[in-house]
Structure 1
Amino acid sequence: MLLKPMLIALLLAALPGIAHAQQASPIGRWRTVDDETGKAKSVVEVYQARDGSYAGKVVEILDTSDGPNPLCNKCAGANRNKPIKGMVILWGLRPAGSGWDGGMVLDPERGKSYRSKLQLREDGRKLGVSGCIAFICRSQEWLRDPA
């Protein structure tokens, strides 16, 4: 008889930790914010890939100054002259410390890929995204998309 109320109390005590664990994930939709102009550029959906790593693809273009469906003109290889919308721009990120590391991020405007790291900020409302080539690094802060 006493076991059932104790079990319920234990489960209720664990719920905040479970909710926090679910929030401590980069999975979701993020508004990218250009580190140079401060303008929202696109919406990237971050998801867990089949191999367990995290990836992200552009699902919406917000800044249409280059047209409603810009192409990756500066990209090399398979992405050259492909629409940016639908393009995978983050891949290979795995949990590391307080964030995710070991992956790559593609900047479609420059056509360059950078070693990348992600870190949740402000209780999961912001995502710090950094990319580095050698010792040259850039970072952006993406905002969780309310949609």
Structure 2
Amino acid sequence: MGHIVKLCGIFFLMGIVSATAQDIFGQWKTIDDETGQEKSVVEIYQENGKVYGKVVKIVNKDRQDAKCDKCKGDKKDKPILGMVIVEGLEKDGGEYSGGSILDPNKGKEYRCKLWLDEDDPDKLNVRGYVAFFFRTQNWFRVK
């Protein structure tokens, strides 16, 4: 009987650890590559089995009403605040890939890959790439 209680306790603790394991979902601070300052907050979420990211906050008060004037298609001249900029990623091992990311300031769309930093689960690696060229940014979890 004592062994069963111990096993139940172990399984309970394992459940707590896995339930609190970090994932990519939630809100992330984006950092401007040039200034090193916080630029926006993007919420990463899952919908119909795919991963998306939407701009939920723009830090610079002067940019609150900014529109995606360089974008093409249905995002042309739409507000950046509330815009979905990460679209259609799927889990592939420890990464999410197969979708795209939009840079609303340049109006350019790139293939995208997201993964949590191995040493810091509050740091998200965000890679946008075209052919063999890529750029990786670090976004930081909003707590």
TM-superposed deviation, 1:105: 0.3
Q: Alignment partner for residue 76 of structure 1, among 66, 72, 75? A: 72
Where structure 2 has 5 or more consecutive residues not aligned to the other structure, the ranges are none
User: In the alignment, does 2:132 pair up with 1:135?
Assistant: yes
TM-score, with length taken from structure 2:
0.89
Any residues of structure 2 matched to 1:1-147 within 5 Å, and which?
A: 1-2=1-2, 4-15=4-15, 17-19=17-19, 22-23=21-22, 25-50=23-48, 52-65=49-62, 67-121=63-117, 122-146=119-143
C-alpha separation in 2, matches of 1:123 and 1:18: 17
C-alpha separation in 1, matches of 2:131 and 2:4: 58
CA distances 1:25-52 after superposition (whole Å, capped 9, x unpaired): 11000001122321211100000112x0
TM-superposed deviation, 1:13: 4.0
Letter aligned with residue 12 of structure 1: F
Q: Secondary structure at 2:61's aligned position in 1? A: coil
Question: Is the CA contact 1:27–1:47 (under 8 Å) kept in the aligned structure 2?
Answer: yes
RMSD of aligned Cα (Å): 1.8
Question: Is the CA contact 2:64–2:81 (under 8 Å) kept in the aligned structure 1?
Answer: no
TM-score, with length taken from structure 1:
0.87
Question: Is the CA contact 1:61–1:69 (under 8 Å) kept in the aligned structure 2?
Answer: no
Aligned residues: 142
Where structure 1 has 5 or more consecutive residues not aligned to the other structure, the ranges are none
TM-superposed deviation, 1:82: 0.5
Q: Secondary structure at 2:77's aligned position in 1? A: coil
C-alpha separation in 2, matches of 1:86 and 1:113: 17
C-alpha separation in 2, matches of 1:38 and 1:123: 19
TM-superposed deviation, 1:128: 0.6
C-alpha separation in 2, matches of 1:10 and 1:112: 50
Distance 1:39 1:123, change over 3 A: same
